[in-house]
Amino acid sequence: MSAVTILTGRVLSFATTPFDGAPGAAARLDEAVALQDGRILARGTAEELRAAHPQAVRHAYGDKVICAGFVDPHVHYPQTAMIASWGKRLIDWLNSYTFPEEMKFSDPAYAAEIAARYLDLTAAEGTTTMCSFCTIHPGSVDALFTEAQRRGQRVVAGKTCMDRNAPEGLRDSAQSAYDDSKALLERWHGVDRIAYAITPRFSPTSTPEQLEALGALWAEHPGCLMQTHLSEQTDEIAWVKGLFPQARDYLDTYEQFGLLGANGLYGHAIHLEPRERDRLREVGAALVHCPTSNTFIGSGLFDMAGLMAGGHRIGLATDTGGGSSFSMLRTMAAAYEIGQLRGTPLHPAQLMWLATVGSAQALRMDDRIGNIAPGMEADLVVLDLASTAAIAQREAEADDLWEALFPTIMMGDDRAVAEVWIGGRRVKGG
């Protein structure tokens, strides 16, 4: 067994969901957390942990906040280099920026370069787990998983499958999508901290035959996640109706091919029909809110309050590179702003919960990541609540933790992320 490490500060965890009852009451605040062998050993007062482990290595963070590492359940790591590309809506944006960039991932060296760059950028922002779309190239999956494995990082990803409405060089087939995905799944799923997600990009870029093949693969491996997109923009929905005239709605283009289930992650889900809401809730599927992407590409305003009240599982994600930031702090700020536009602003406790526990629940991994409790994996972020002069002067006037934390949520960036620990190892700070 390795030596015990004790971190002291304001250790923030969640005992319940802040969407039930008073939001602030859902949290637990401790003085210290002990780590050993990549996991949380204990939490409590600094005195009791020091007494229990007198030989521990100690890191004192004063009044900084120690929380679980951020969990980003919907990203496109191959879009790292073209993030913040100007002036398009979804379909034109894909054709103008995304597809040309993804073509480059036929080169394994380029895929490896971007995978390392992406994990560097996100670690600097405090993101310790993500679920990523790759490209149609199996090597793009191998590149991300290889780099994540080298870092000891928990990552979920899958080969993006497309056999129509994409340029030559970015199309596979129903059979190759099945074969490639199955081979990658069998090679990587469950290795170290790696998990595979079956990944049809969205129904407009897959024929019924490909969707059926991927549904069959999911039925063979029901413990895997399946990720895709749903009801992001109104013109996209109209396109889907033209491509699938017999479908009851957008969700039905997945449901009829076995691609609706409890382990499904459906990105965006802004313009849902009542039947779609009901079915997603009935099966226990996860919806993923991508606020910076929704505003950047002009998609619409996600109904967080209504869907939460309806009993849905919801995660919060950057959706880089459609999303305009790698930062989950910026993503929380955008979620707050969208809530304001809908007349339902989110409390700081709700925002922090969405970026940690909620997103871990979306990935069905909340027994391992997303919170600070004994036995959980030791992925942690140390937040400096006075990282800039503007934030510091506002934080100085705060009356409680939530009021102190909120300026960092709204104005913080990588400077607010003082240290990051992944698997019990410090990867930023010190």
Mind listing the pLDDT tens digit for each residue in 277-311? 999 999 999 999 999 999 998 999 999 999 999 99
Under 8 Å between Cβ of 230 and 290: no
Mean pLDDT of 103-122: 97
Q: Over pLDDT 90: what percentage of the chain?
A: 94
pLDDT of amino acid 86: 82
Mean pLDDT of 143-170: 97
Under 8 Å between Cβ of 264 and 230: no
CATH architecture, domain defined by 70-362:
Alpha-Beta Barrel (3.20)
pLDDT of amino acid 94: 84
Mean pLDDT of 29-57: 97
Question: Average per-residue pLDDT in the chain?
Answer: 96
Under 8 Å between Cβ of 45 and 78: no
Half-sphere exposure of 354 (CA within 13 A, CB side): 32
Half-sphere exposure of 424 (CA within 13 A, CB side): 20
Q: Report the sign of the C-alpha dihedral through residues 232, 362, 147, 153, in that order.
A: positive
Residue 184 predicted with pLDDT over 80? yes
Mean pLDDT of 361-386: 98
Q: Report the sign of the C-alpha dihedral through residues 129, 133, 135, 139, in that order.
A: positive
Instruction: Locate CATH 3.20.20.140 in the chain.
Output: 70-362
Which is the CATH superfamily of the domain at 5-69+371-428? Urease, subunit C, domain 1 (2.30.40.10)
pLDDT of amino acid 391: 98
pLDDT of amino acid 91: 77
What pLDDT digit, counting tens, does each position of 205-246 carry?
999 999 999 999 999 999 999 999 999 999 999 999 999 999
Per DSSP, which regions of 147-257 are E strands? 154-158, 160-161, 194-200, 225-230
**C-alpha–C-alpha distance, residues 219 and 233, integer Å:** 29
Mean pLDDT of 128-138: 98
Could you tell me how far CA 278 lies from the centroid of its own chain? 24
Instruction: Locate CATH 2.30.40.10 in the chain.
Output: 5-69+371-428
At residue 249, what are phi and psi to the nearest 5 degrees? -170, -175
Give alpha helix (H) positions in 6-107. 46-52, 90-93, 99-103
What pLDDT digit, counting tens, does each position of 250-284 carry?
999 999 999 999 999 999 999 999 999 999 999 99
Mean pLDDT lowest among 190-194, 198-202, 296-300, 328-332: 296-300
